Structure 1
Amino acid sequence: MSTSASNINSSKIATTITCKLNRSNFLLWKAQVVPILKGVQLFGYLDGSIESPTDKVTTWAGAEAREIVNPEYNSWMVQDQAIIGGLLSFMTEEVLAQLTRCTDTSSQLWTALHTMFSTQHRGNSIQIRTQLSTTRKRDLSAAEYYQKMTTLADTMANIGHPMTDEDVIGYILAGLGPGHGDLFTAITVLSDQHKVTLPEFYSYLIAHETQATATNSMTEFTSSANSVTHQGSNQPRRTSNNPNNNQRSNYRGAGSNRGRGRG
């Protein structure tokens, strides 16, 4: 691979990753890195499927053998170092400090990252399951709550304890709180028919939230309208305090008396 191609691909890596790797976001960071590198056919450098050529090759000049630098190795090395540079530029200092001796090749760096984060999370499965059991939706939106719970489930997978979609859905339903009986019933009925996947459950969760929001808005509107109507019906009737009205009434009364007197 040419140097110009490696520069282009390294630039693509640097401009597409949106967050720096820290101690708590490895899965999110990795979720961006892997498809980017696969998309430009460079992930093989990380998983070792694109192996390093030998650094030297033997050429013959007549009966004399000579070792020269392998041009294919140079191209491979340039590309590999470009990948390393792109990845390191999107790591925080606390992560970089633990990788300074693991940057000979991108494959070495990738392996070190997985070792570091799997070791960091190993043995935390009980703690994570406790978080899944105690996390509540409360004021979170449905999307925020779903992301929070599935991130915990992804962490379980990363430390070697993957969870089934059914287990994760069970934890999510348990943390919704009161007022979500319709959703629970719908998912229970569906699960009797087929295995409900997380993406399918997510669509039901969002639809349930949308319907609940619309229902609450209509209830508030109806309550406000009834309140205004009730206030209007309880207001006392207005009486006129205009003194001219009293004068006209007295005048008409006096005229009638005078007419009867003449008779």
Structure 2
Amino acid sequence: MQTSKQVWDALHTRFSSPSRSRIAPLRRQLQTVTQGNWSCSEFMEEAKNPVDQLVAVGKTTDDQDLISFLLGGLRLAFTPFITTIKFACQDKDLSFDDFLAELLSFETLIEAQHNLTPDQH
């Protein structure tokens, strides 16, 4: 390259384009995020990182895909929730906001049941 403008343009093109090498690892990260010992809020925050990075390079994630990835990463205690959501979404799509509200509500139910004393079971 002969001019600083050519160098600048080349750098701009190289680092601002949403290349496959930048997008693929972010998608994989999103597809493989797992809840582990995190609360649902912490789990959502962890999943938000690759989603935000994908948006930054011009690649949005469809709500249904995002919900599917997140369902796959939930702990076993959420199996009834997963089954219910999959059944409910057979005929219609669920918005991410509605999904999140239902997930947090189910988590509250699990916590309430866990906090019951043995006499209250």
**TM class by smaller structure:** 0.7 to 0.9
**Number of positions where the alignment pairs a residue of Structure 1 with one of Structure 2:** 107
Indicate the residue corresponding to 1:126 in structure 2: 24
1:180 paired to 2:78: yes
Query: Larger radius of gyration, structure 1 or 2?
Result: 1
Give the 3-state SS of the residue equivalent to 2:49 in structure 1. Answer: helix
Indicate the residue corresponding to 1:222 in structure 2: 118
Contact preservation (8 Å) 1:150, 1:168:
no
Indicate the residue corresponding to 2:58 in structure 1: 160
Q: Residues 64-75 of structure 1 correspond to what in structure 2 (within 5 A)?
A: none
**TM-score normalised according to structure 2 size:** 0.76
RMSD: 2.3
Q: Residues 1-263 of structure 1 correspond to what in structure 2 (within 5 A)?
A: 119=16, 122=19, 123-218=21-116, 221-222=117-118
Offset at residue 120 of structure 1 (A)? 8.0
- In structure 2, what is the Cα distance between the partners aligned to 1:141 and 1:120? 35
- In structure 2, what is the Cα distance between the partners aligned to 1:121 and 1:216? 45
Q: Which has the higher contact order (CA 8 A, sep 6+)?
A: 2
- In structure 1, what is the Cα distance between the partners aligned to 2:108 and 2:17? 39
Offset at residue 135 of structure 1 (A)? 1.6
Identity of aligned residues (%): 20
Contact preservation (8 Å) 1:165, 1:198:
yes
Runs of 4+ with deviation above 6 angstroms: none
Which whole-Å deviations, capped at 9, do the CAs of 1:202-240 have from their partners, x for residues lacking one? 00110010000011111xx117x9xxxxxxxxxxxxxxx
Letter paired with 2:33: T
Which whole-Å deviations, capped at 9, do the CAs of 1:77-120 have from their partners, x for residues lacking one? xxxxxxxxxxxxxxxxxxxxxxxxxxxxxxxxxxxxxx69x628
Write 1 or 2 for the structure with the bigger share of strand: 1
Write 1 or 2 for the structure with the bigger share of helix: 2
